[in-house]
Structure 1
Amino acid sequence: MIRQWLIFQFVAMVLVTSSEITLASEIDFENDVYPILEDNCLFCHGEDEQESGLRLDRRGYMLRGGDSGLAAVVPEHPEKSYLIDVINHVDEEMAMPPDEDKIADEDIDLITRWIQAGAVWPGQMDDIAEEEIDHWAFLPRQTEFDQDCIDDFLREKLAGAGVSFSDTADARSLIRRASIVLTGLAPTPERTTQFIEAFAEDRDAEERNAAYENLIEELLASPHFGERWAQHWLDVIRWAETNGSESNLYRKNAWMYRDYVVRSFNEDKPYDEFIREQLAGDVLGHGDATGFLVAGPHVPAATVGQEPTAIRQARADRMDEVLQTVGASMMGVTIGCARCHNHKFDPISIQDYYSMSAAFQDVEFGSRFPELADDHPRVLRSTQLRSHLDDQRQEMRSNGWAWVEDWTGYEEVHFPTQTIDEMRIVFNGRWVMLDEMEILEADGEHRNVLAPELGAVITDNPSTHVASQPTSNLNNGVFGTKGWRGVSKKGNKETPWLQFEFPKTVSVSSIRLSSNREDFLETDYLEGMNKSKYGDFNIEILDDDGQWRPFASTAAMRKKSTDIEQRQALQQKIQEVIGALIVEGPQPAFLAQFVEPVETFVLARGSPESPRDRVHAAAPNRLGGDLGIDPESPGALRRQAFADWLVSPENPLTARVMANRIWHHIFGSGIVPTPSDFGLAGAPPTHPELLDWLTGQFIESNWSMKSMVRMIVLSDAFKQSNAPNEAGLAKDATAQLLWRFPPRRVEAEVIRDSVLQASGRLDPTIGGPSYRIHNVKKRYAQWEVVDNHGDETWRRMLYQERMRRVDDRIFTAFDFPDCGQIRAKRPVSTTPLQALNLMNSDFVVNQATLLAERARSERGDAIDAQVIRCFELLLCRQPSQDELEASIEVAKTQSLELLCRTLINTNEFAFLP
C-alpha cells in the first residue's frame, strides 16, 4: 500500500508540474497579455500618465505598485495581486476600467493565469523600478564644514543677503529674554538689577561675558528649566489628561509621565536615552516614561461598543495615534499619511507604516502600576503600610473573623482559610455584573487559582445565564464593562450564582472582585464610578454530605455589630491603612498597558477588514529599517530595537529633528520652519549646513540637550537687539536669516506664571498631581471649569489639569493648545478676547489686587513709591517721568489695582524683548 501511494504521489507531482509548464508555455505575453493592457490600461497607467501613481507598461512598476502601496502583480499569486482585484471590480470605488468598460472575463482569466505562471515578461525579468532618494532630510548629514561656530554660519548667509547682525541687546532685555526662553519665568526685579550692574557698558568685555555666562548657567541649573522645556515636548506629542473622545474621560495619574519629562530635562538626560526610555521604559527601569506611547487621544472600549468591526477599527486608530506620536516628535515625518497608501511625498510606503505598527503591537492604551525602583519613596512607603496591613489581617484571621476591604475600584472579601475542590457564590440580588474575579491562595504569593492557565472551571446558574456575557469573561484579565452578567428573568425566583471547580485541592482565604475595575485603573473624577453591581452574597462550600453550605456572608460582614467592638475597631484600622496605600503607595497611572503582540498585516486602504500581506517589525525600508531581530520577538524587544534604530548615528532624521526643535524654541522658528515635518511637503531649511553642524555637535555632546541650549543662547545671534532697521526689513522682513532677534509674544503659560511671580503668590513646587480647575462630571457630560483663579491653582500652568476639548476660560485665548492635534509650533494670534481676559478675568482681577497689596506692603503709603514698585514687579524697570505721572494719576483717580491690570495688558509684558 505504501509503495502504491508513493507511486501515485510521484505521478500526481509530474502531472501538476507538466501542467504548470504547459500553462506557462500557453501564454505568450507579447501577443496575449500586453494587447489587453494596451487596450484597457496603458492610456491612464503608461509612460505618459500614471493615475494613482501606477504604471503598467513595465514589469518593475507592476511589482512595485502605485500609490495604494499594494503590488499590482505578485508573481505566482494572483490572489495577492491588486491588479486582479481592480479589474474584477472587487471594490466598486477602485474598479478599473470603471463601469461598463470592465475587461472581458476571458481576458481577466488570461491575466490571472499569466500571473499564476510567474508573470513572465520577456526582456524585463530583471527590471527594477526604484526611485532614488534625493530629498535632503533623508540623506546622510554633511560632516565637513568651513565654519566652526553658529555665528560664522549665520554671518555668511547674511553677507550674501547684504545685511549684518544687529547690535547687542541691552542688559534688561537680555536677562528677560534668557530667563523666559530657558525657564518660562520673567526674572525678578532684584536679579535684573544685579545683572544690569554686572553687564554695564563701563565693564570690560571679559566681565560682561562672564556675567552673561553665569546667568545662563544659573538658568540651566534652575529646576524651572525642566518645567519650561517639558512643556515644549508635551505640545509636540499632544499630551493631555483626558482621552478626548465623546466621554473625554480623565486619565488617572497621567501626570507621572509629565513629571518624568520635567526630571529628564532637569537632569540633562541624554536625548538618545530619553528616546529609549519612552519607547521601552517598562524594561529599562523607567516605567513612568512609557506615557509617551499613549499620549495621543483615543476612544475607550465602553464607547466603542462590542461590534467586532468597530473594535478592530478602534484598535487600528489607536495604533495610528502611537505612530503619529513617534513620527512627529522623534522622526519629523508625517507617518500617518502612509496608513491608506504610499506616502505621496516621502519614501514611506504602506508596508513601512504597518511594519512600524508591528514594532508597537504590544502597546495598548490604558493604565498600569509603573515599574519603580526599590528605593522610590512610594515603594518604601508601600512596604511599611503593607506590613501593618498584614499584621491586622492576621489578627482578624486568628479570631476566626471574615471581613470586606474596600479598595475603591474593587473589593476583597477575606475569611479563614478554606481547603476545597469546589466553591460557590450565591448572590442576593436578581441582577449581577462582574468584570473580573480572583480567588487567592492563602499562602505564598497569594496566587490567583482562577487564572485560566490553571484549569479552573466556572459555571453559572443556567436560569440566569446571559449568553452575550459568559463566565469566560470573569478570568480573562480584561477589566471594564465586558464582563459576566447574571439576570433573573421575569417570573424566575432564582438568583444568579457562580460555581468554581478546581483541578486539584486548593487552600484559599480571599476573593477579589469588581464590576468595572477599569474605572479605578483608568479614570477619576466621575460621578457614580467604582460602584459595585453585585451587592451582597454568600460563599458556599460542600459539606460532608455533598450539600452546599454557606460559611461566609458579606451582608453579615458589612453589618455593624456593637457586641464585637474589637472586630469593628480592627476593621476600621484596616480600612485606614488601605486608604493610605491608595494615596501614598504605588498608584496605577495612564502609562500604557502591554499585551501579547498579534500578527500584523498591511491593511488595504487602511481598513482592518481588508488585510493583505503579513509584515514584521521594521522601520521604513528606504531608511535602512531592518531592526535585526527575529520576526517573532516579544513586544518589548521590538520597541527597544526600534529605539536603537532611531538613535543610530546613521539615522539621518532623529538628531537633526531635535537639534532643529531646540533652535525653534529659542528663536521662535526652526532652521526647518516645520519642526515636525522634514519631508518634501515641509519647508526647506534656511541654513542646511548649520543644521548638519549642530546635529554633529549634538551627537558629539553625548546627546546633551542642555549643551545644545547653552551653545545657542551664548551665540551673538541670540544676544542681538530685536530693534528693526530698514535694510533688514527690506531684505528679510521675518528675520529668518537672524539679522536681529525675532520679537514674539510669549506663551499663555509665561503670562500667567509671570503674573503669579509678580504678585509673590507663585507656588514653586515641582511635580505632583495637577491642580484641579474642573468639576466632577457624569460619564458622558462635559467638563466645566469651576475655579481657575483660587489659591489652590497658584502653581505653574504646566501643572494645570490638561483637558482636551475644554476652554479654561482665560488662557486658551492665548493659543494654549487643545492637545487634539500635534503642536510642534504654536500659532500666534491677536484677538480682542486676549485683552479682555488680561483686563477683566477673575484671575487677573484677583492677582492685580494682590500685586497692589504687595506694592503697598513693601513701599509704604507714598503713591509714587507704590507705582514704581508695580513697574518693577511686572516690567523689571522703573517708569519714565511721563509714565510715572500718568500712572500716579490713574492710581489716585481709579486705583492701584487698575494700574496693575493695565501694565499686565502692555505689549512690553506680553512680548519677548
Structure 2
Amino acid sequence: MRTTKLILLAIMFSFMGAVGEAEASDIDFQRDIEPIFEDHCLHCHGEDEQESGFRLDRRVSLLRGGDYGQRAVVPGDVQNSYLIDVVTHADADMAMPPDDDKLSDEQIDLLKRWIEQGAIWPGQMDEVAEEEVEHWAFLPLKSEFDHQTIDDFLTEKLTQSGLAYNAPADARSLIRRASIVLTGLAPTPERTETFRTSFAANADVAYAELVDELLASPHFGERWAQHWLDVIRWAETNGSESNLYRKNAWLYRDYVVRAFNEDKPYDQFVREQLAGDLMGAGDATGFLVSGPHVPAATVGQEESAIRQARADRLDEVLQTVGASVMGVTIGCARCHNHKFDPFSIQDYYSMTAVFQDIEFGSRYPELSDDHPRMKRKVELQKQLHALRKQMLKPGWGWVEDWQGYQEVRFPPKTVDAIRISFDNRWVQADEIEIMEAGKQNRNVAKPEFGTVVTDNPATHVEGQPISRLVDGVFGTKGWRGKSPPKSKTLPWLQFQFTEPVNVDAIRISSNREDFYETDYLEGMNKSQYGEFKIEARDAEGNWKPFSSTAAMKKKTAQDDQRQQLQAEIQSVITDLLVEGPQPAFLAQFVEPVETFVFSRGSPESPRDRVFASAPKLLDGNLGIEPDAAGPMRRKALGDWLVNPDNPLTPRVASNRIWHHIFGTGIVSTPSDFGKAGALPSHPKLLDWLASQFVDSGWSVKEMVRMIVMSEAFRQSSAPREDGLEADASAVLLWRFPPRRVEAEVIRDSMLLASGRLDESIGGPSYRIHNVKKRYAQWEVVDNSSDETWRRMLYQERMRRVDDRIFTAFDFPDCGQIRAKRPVSTTPLQALNLMNSDFVVSQSELLALRAKDEAGEAVNDQIVRCFELLLCRQPSQDELEAAIEFCKSQELALLCRTLINTNEFAFLP
C-alpha cells in the first residue's frame, strides 16, 4: 500500500513539473496557435471569406487588422492587441467566437503568450503588406498630352460619337451667359446693346474684351465666393438646438470675396485657410470652423458627452478639408477603414491630430498692419488715450462699456490687496481682471502672479469655485455669490497680491463669452453683479472704498464736464468696436492634446496613439516633429495639399471651376473623387487642365478665362436631334447645356432690373431675422424692405431657417456640404415668383422705372420692361398680347409674369 502511494505521488509531481516546464517554454505556432485559428476562426476569417475584412490565415493581416482598423496583433504588446479584446469578450459588441463557442481560458492564455513572445509565425515573418494606389484620382498627373486646347480634347470625343459642336451662340445669349457665369448678374440692356454692335463688327475681339471686363469686375469675387461657401457649408449660426449666431463670421466671407477678386493664387488660398494666423491672414481660418457644431452650454457637463462633442467638431473640420480641397470623403474612415478608398482609420485620426489646436469659437484675427481695421484702430486708440488723460487729470473715475464687459477706471493706486464689495444680494461673474497702471493689458489678478482670490464665506455658493474668476475662460461657468435669507451680509471678493502693485482699472463680466461668440439675443451681455465699491486697506488694516461704480454713474449739476468726457469716451469705444479689429467666429486656438485612434469612432475607446500626417498611401508624411506646435501642423498640411506632386488638389480645383462654368464637372461628383464617385468624362482633359492650373501659378481667373474663351462655352445651347439621341445630357458638350440659374441670380437680377440693387462690396450681412431668446428659433421678419436690397450673398445666413422665398429654389441650408446644388421644379417656385412680398414690391418698382424711363405710352413702357428683364425687345406677337393684357391689369403684373418665364430664370 505504501509503495503504491509513493508511485502515485511520483507520477503526480512529475506531471506538475511537465506542466510548469510547458508553461515556461516557447509557444510553437503550429502546435499551439494554428489549431485554435483552424477550429474557431478561419471559417469566417480565412482565405475564402473575410467578415469585416479580417483574415487570420496570414500574419500580415493580423498585424494590419480588419475594416475597423485596429491592429489585431501588436507583437510583444498584449494590451494593445485587439484580438485579445475580441476573444476575451472584453469588447461585447465584437465578442468572437460567440458565447457558445468562446475560447477556453487555456486557449486565450496561449494566444497572449504567443503575442508576448513576438507572434512568431514560421515562414511569414518577412511578409509585408503591399498596397498599391490604383484609382485614377490618386495617381500622378500625366505630363504628356496629344492636345493643347480644350476644344481639341472635346472634339476628339465628339467625333468618336459622331457628333460636332453646335453653331456659335448669338450675341445676346453669349453676353447673358458669360455675365451670369462670371459675376452672377445679368447684363444691363445698354451693355447688351453695346456688345451686340461690337460683336457684329468683330466677334472675337468683342467677346475677349467682355470676358476681361467681367473678370475685373468686383462682382466676380462675390459670385465665385458663393460657390466656395456652398462646398464648405458656411453659415452664420451653429445649427444646433440653440442655433446661436456666430459673431462677425462674415469676416471670413469677405476674405473669400477679396481672394477671388485679387486672384489670390489658389495654393496660397489653401495655405491661408489652414494657417492664416501665421501668414497675416487671420480672417482666413473661418474655413476650418465653417461647419455646424454644438456649443458647450448645450453639450452639458457630462465628461463623456464633452469628449464626444469634441470628436464631432474635429470631424466637421475633416469633412470640410476633405470635401473642398481634397475631393474625398475622409470622414468615412472615422469608425473603420474606408470602404472604397485607401484611407485607414489611422489616416483619419492622424489628420485630426493636425487640427488638435482648433476649437470652434471666436478670436481677434491676426491682421497685417496695413489692414484698414488696424489703421482705424490706431486712430481711435489715440483719441481714447487723450480723453482718458483728461478724465484722470482732476482725479475722476468712470465706467466704460465694452459690450461684453465693463471696465472701471480710476486714478492709479498702489495697493497690496483689493476688495470688491457688491451692493446686490446675488451676483454672478465669469471673469475679473485687475489691470496694472502703465502696463498694456497686464492683468495682475492672474494666478501666475501669485495672487490669492477669496470670497465672503457667508455668501459662498457650493460648486462655484472662486478660481473660475481668473482662469481666462469666459461663459456661463463662472462664480456666484448669494446672501443668506434675512441676512444683511453681502457678497465680496478679495484679491491679495504678493507685493504692492499700482493698478488703475478693473474689468468685470457676467458672460463675456457672448461678447466674443454671438449676437442678437434678448438680454445678451446683461450685468448680473450690479453696482460695487472698490476697497483698499488703510493704515489700521480696515477696508475703505476709494472708488464706486454707483458714484461714477451718478449725475450731478456740478460735473457736466465729466459727463461730457464720459460720453465722448463711450462714443470712441463704440466706433472702435465697429470699425476696429473685432472678435469674429474664425476659430479659437487651444493647446493640442495627444491623439488616439478611437475604436469604432468612440472617444471612450482610445487605442493606438497617432501623430499629425496626411493619408499614408498618398505619401502623407508632413515632415514635422511628433510634438510640433498646432500652427506648424496646419501649415505643414497646407504645404502638402498644394505640393505639385499631390495630384488631388489641382484636379479637384480644376474640375470645380469647370463644374461652375458648364453646370457639370468633368467628374460629376465634385467633392468625391474616390471609387464611389463618378469617373471623369474626359480624364485626359482633366489632367491637362490641372497641369495648366499649376503652371499658371494657380490662377483661378486664368483658368476661368481659358474655359470661357473656348468654342465649347461659346456655342449655342439649341437642341439637336442627333445630339439628344446620342448624348441627351450633353456630357460630351455638343451644345452648351442650358440650366436654371441659382436662387441668388434670380433675386439679384430682379433688384438690378428695378434699379434698386445696392452693389456695395463686403461688410456685415443684412438682417432679415428677429432678435431671439437663447433657445428660441430664428424667424424671418423682413426680407423685402430697402435695407435688404444688397446681393443675396450678404443675406444673413442662418442654418435650419427657411427664408420664405428662395429656399424653394434649392438655396442650401448649409447643414450639409453642397458641392453641387440640386435643381428641382416645384409649384412653390412659381407661387413665390408671383406672390411673395419681395417679388410684388420689386415688380412695382420695376414698373415705376419703366414708366419713368419710357414715358407715358404704354407700348414704350412694355418694351422697356422686356429690355430691363430679358435684355431684348418683345416680338410683335408678344407686344400685342402685352398691350391687351395691360388694358385690364397693372404694368407691375406684367413684370411679375415676365419674371416667371424660363427665359428670365434659365441660362441660355
TM range (shorter): over 0.9
Matched residues, percent identical? 72
**Residue from 530, 542, 549 that aligns with 1:547:** 542
TM-score (norm 2): 0.96
CA–CA separation in structure 1 for the residues paired with 2:694 and 2:470: 49
AA in 2 matched with 1:797: M
CA–CA separation in structure 2 for the residues paired with 1:898 and 1:20: 99
CA–CA separation in structure 1 for the residues paired with 2:390 and 2:704: 59
Q: Please name the residue that 1:580 is paired with.
A: 575
TM-score (norm 1): 0.96
List per-residue Cα deviations over 1:602-627 (Å, max 9, x = no partner).
11111111111111111111111111
Q: Are the aligned partners of 1:463 and 1:488 in contact in 2 as well (CA < 8 Å)?
A: yes
Aligned residue runs from structure 1 range 862-877, under 5 A: 862-877=857-872
Please report how far the alpha carbon of residue 393 of structure 1 lies from its aligned counterpart in structure 2 after TM superposition. 1.7
Please report how far the alpha carbon of residue 476 of structure 1 lies from its aligned counterpart in structure 2 after TM superposition. 1.6
Q: Please name the residue that 1:103 is paired with.
A: 103
CA–CA separation in structure 2 for the residues paired with 1:877 and 1:747: 21
**Residue from 337, 343, 368 that aligns with 1:342:** 337
Q: Please name the residue that 1:890 is paired with.
A: 885
Consecutive unaligned residues of structure 1, counting only runs of 5 or more, are 1-18
CA–CA separation in structure 2 for the residues paired with 1:486 and 1:44: 64
Q: Are the aligned partners of 2:613 and 2:620 in contact in 1 as well (CA < 8 Å)?
A: yes
Range 352-361 or range 450-459, more displaced:
450-459
Q: Are the aligned partners of 1:252 and 1:588 in contact in 2 as well (CA < 8 Å)?
A: yes
Please report how far the alpha carbon of residue 130 of structure 1 lies from its aligned counterpart in structure 2 after TM superposition. 3.2
- Does residue 639 of structure 1 match 2:640? no
Please report how far the alpha carbon of residue 422 of structure 1 lies from its aligned counterpart in structure 2 after TM superposition. 1.5
List per-residue Cα deviations over 1:65-97 (Å, max 9, x = no partner).
111111011111111011111111122221112
CA–CA separation in structure 2 for the residues paired with 1:327 and 1:838: 37
- Does residue 801 of structure 1 match 2:830? no
CA–CA separation in structure 2 for the residues paired with 1:746 and 1:869: 23
CA–CA separation in structure 2 for the residues paired with 1:906 and 1:224: 25
- Matched residue of 2:112: which SS? helix
- Matched residue of 1:503: which SS? strand
Q: Please name the residue that 1:249 is paired with.
A: 244
Do the aligned partners of residues 22 and 259 (structure 1) sit closer, same or farther apart at CA in structure 2, a change above 3 Å counting?
farther
Q: Please name the residue that 2:292 is paired with.
A: 297
Q: Please name the residue that 1:136 is paired with.
A: 136
List per-residue Cα deviations over 1:262-308 (Å, max 9, x = no partner).
11101110000000111111110111111111111111111111121
Aligned residue runs from structure 1 range 31-46, under 5 A: 31-46=31-46
- Does residue 719 of structure 1 match 2:706? no
Q: Please name the residue that 2:52 is paired with.
A: 52
- Does residue 118 of structure 1 match 2:138? no
Range 99-108 or range 511-520, more displaced:
99-108
Task: Calculate the aligned-residue CA RMSD, in Å.
Answer: 1.5
CA–CA separation in structure 1 for the residues paired with 2:606 and 2:761: 48
Q: Are the aligned partners of 1:382 and 1:586 in contact in 2 as well (CA < 8 Å)?
A: yes
- Matched residue of 1:735: which SS? coil
Q: Please name the residue that 2:745 is paired with.
A: 750
Q: Please name the residue that 1:622 is paired with.
A: 617
Q: Please name the residue that 1:503 is paired with.
A: 498
Please report how far the alpha carbon of residue 449 of structure 1 lies from its aligned counterpart in structure 2 after TM superposition. 0.8
Q: Are the aligned partners of 1:24 and 1:117 in contact in 2 as well (CA < 8 Å)?
A: no
CA–CA separation in structure 2 for the residues paired with 1:190 and 1:699: 38
Please report how far the alpha carbon of residue 445 of structure 1 lies from its aligned counterpart in structure 2 after TM superposition. 1.8
List per-residue Cα deviations over 1:686-712 (Å, max 9, x = no partner).
111100000000000000000100000
Please report how far the alpha carbon of residue 25 of structure 1 lies from its aligned counterpart in structure 2 after TM superposition. 4.2
Please report how far the alpha carbon of residue 24 of structure 1 lies from its aligned counterpart in structure 2 after TM superposition. 7.9
Q: Please name the residue that 1:486 is paired with.
A: 481
CA–CA separation in structure 2 for the residues paired with 1:101 and 1:532: 66
Please report how far the alpha carbon of residue 544 of structure 1 lies from its aligned counterpart in structure 2 after TM superposition. 1.2
- Matched residue of 1:550: which SS? strand
CA–CA separation in structure 2 for the residues paired with 1:656 and 1:576: 52
Q: Are the aligned partners of 2:380 and 2:572 in contact in 1 as well (CA < 8 Å)?
A: yes
Aligned residue runs from structure 1 range 96-245, under 5 A: 96-200=96-200, 203=201, 207-245=202-240
Range 896-905 or range 91-100, more displaced:
91-100
Please report how far the alpha carbon of residue 599 of structure 1 lies from its aligned counterpart in structure 2 after TM superposition. 1.1
Please report how far the alpha carbon of residue 493 of structure 1 lies from its aligned counterpart in structure 2 after TM superposition. 4.3
Please report how far the alpha carbon of residue 832 of structure 1 lies from its aligned counterpart in structure 2 after TM superposition. 0.2
Q: Please name the residue that 2:321 is paired with.
A: 326
CA–CA separation in structure 2 for the residues paired with 1:829 and 1:327: 27
- Does residue 679 of structure 1 match 2:674? yes
Do the aligned partners of residues 675 and 446 (structure 1) sit closer, same or farther apart at CA in structure 2, a change above 3 Å counting?
closer
AA in 2 matched with 1:277: E
Q: Please name the residue that 2:69 is paired with.
A: 69
List per-residue Cα deviations over 1:834-870 (Å, max 9, x = no partner).
0000011111110111111111111111111111111
CA–CA separation in structure 1 for the residues paired with 2:756 and 2:488: 64
CA–CA separation in structure 2 for the residues paired with 1:623 and 1:493: 70
Do the aligned partners of residues 732 and 27 (structure 1) sit closer, same or farther apart at CA in structure 2, a change above 3 Å counting?
same
Please report how far the alpha carbon of residue 318 of structure 1 lies from its aligned counterpart in structure 2 after TM superposition. 0.8
Q: Are the aligned partners of 1:23 and 1:117 in contact in 2 as well (CA < 8 Å)?
A: no
Consecutive unaligned residues of structure 2, counting only runs of 5 or more, are 1-18
Q: Are the aligned partners of 2:26 and 2:117 in contact in 1 as well (CA < 8 Å)?
A: no
Please report how far the alpha carbon of residue 535 of structure 1 lies from its aligned counterpart in structure 2 after TM superposition. 1.3
Q: Please name the residue that 1:4 is paired with.
A: none
Please report how far the alpha carbon of residue 464 of structure 1 lies from its aligned counterpart in structure 2 after TM superposition. 2.7
CA–CA separation in structure 2 for the residues paired with 1:893 and 1:609: 72
Aligned residue runs from structure 1 range 648-797, under 5 A: 648-797=643-792
Please report how far the alpha carbon of residue 660 of structure 1 lies from its aligned counterpart in structure 2 after TM superposition. 0.2
Q: Please name the residue that 1:88 is paired with.
A: 88
AA in 2 matched with 1:39: D
- Does residue 399 of structure 1 match 2:394? yes
Please report how far the alpha carbon of residue 492 of structure 1 lies from its aligned counterpart in structure 2 after TM superposition. 5.1
CA–CA separation in structure 2 for the residues paired with 1:873 and 1:881: 18
CA–CA separation in structure 1 for the residues paired with 2:60 and 2:212: 58
- Matched residue of 1:199: which SS? helix
Q: Please name the residue that 2:426 is paired with.
A: 431
- Matched residue of 1:538: which SS? strand
Please report how far the alpha carbon of residue 746 of structure 1 lies from its aligned counterpart in structure 2 after TM superposition. 0.3
- Matched residue of 2:506: which SS? strand
CA–CA separation in structure 1 for the residues paired with 2:158 and 2:484: 83
- Matched residue of 2:903: which SS? helix
Question: Where do 4+ consecutive residues of structure 1 move more than 6 Å?
Answer: 19-24
List per-residue Cα deviations over 1:98-143 (Å, max 9, x = no partner).
2332211221111111111111111111122233221001111111
Q: Are the aligned partners of 1:456 and 1:501 in contact in 2 as well (CA < 8 Å)?
A: yes
CA–CA separation in structure 1 for the residues paired with 2:150 and 2:64: 43
- Matched residue of 2:256: which SS? helix
**Residue from 272, 275, 280 that aligns with 2:275:** 280
Number of residue equivalences: 890
Range 254-263 or range 545-554, more displaced:
545-554
AA in 1 matched with 2:504: S
Range 229-238 or range 586-595, more displaced:
586-595
Do the aligned partners of residues 573 and 20 (structure 1) sit closer, same or farther apart at CA in structure 2, a change above 3 Å counting?
farther
Please report how far the alpha carbon of residue 20 of structure 1 lies from its aligned counterpart in structure 2 after TM superposition. 14
Range 428-437 or range 689-698, more displaced:
428-437
CA–CA separation in structure 1 for the residues paired with 2:21 and 2:144: 58
Please report how far the alpha carbon of residue 566 of structure 1 lies from its aligned counterpart in structure 2 after TM superposition. 2.3
AA in 2 matched with 1:35: P
CA–CA separation in structure 1 for the residues paired with 2:75 and 2:417: 59
**Residue from 379, 383, 403 that aligns with 2:378:** 383
Q: Please name the residue that 1:10 is paired with.
A: none
- Does residue 906 of structure 1 match 2:901? yes
- Does residue 839 of structure 1 match 2:834? yes
- Matched residue of 1:251: which SS? coil
List per-residue Cα deviations over 1:188-217 (Å, max 9, x = no partner).
1111111112222xx4xxx21111111111
Q: Are the aligned partners of 1:172 and 1:192 in contact in 2 as well (CA < 8 Å)?
A: yes
Q: Are the aligned partners of 2:163 and 2:723 in contact in 1 as well (CA < 8 Å)?
A: yes
Q: Please name the residue that 1:12 is paired with.
A: none
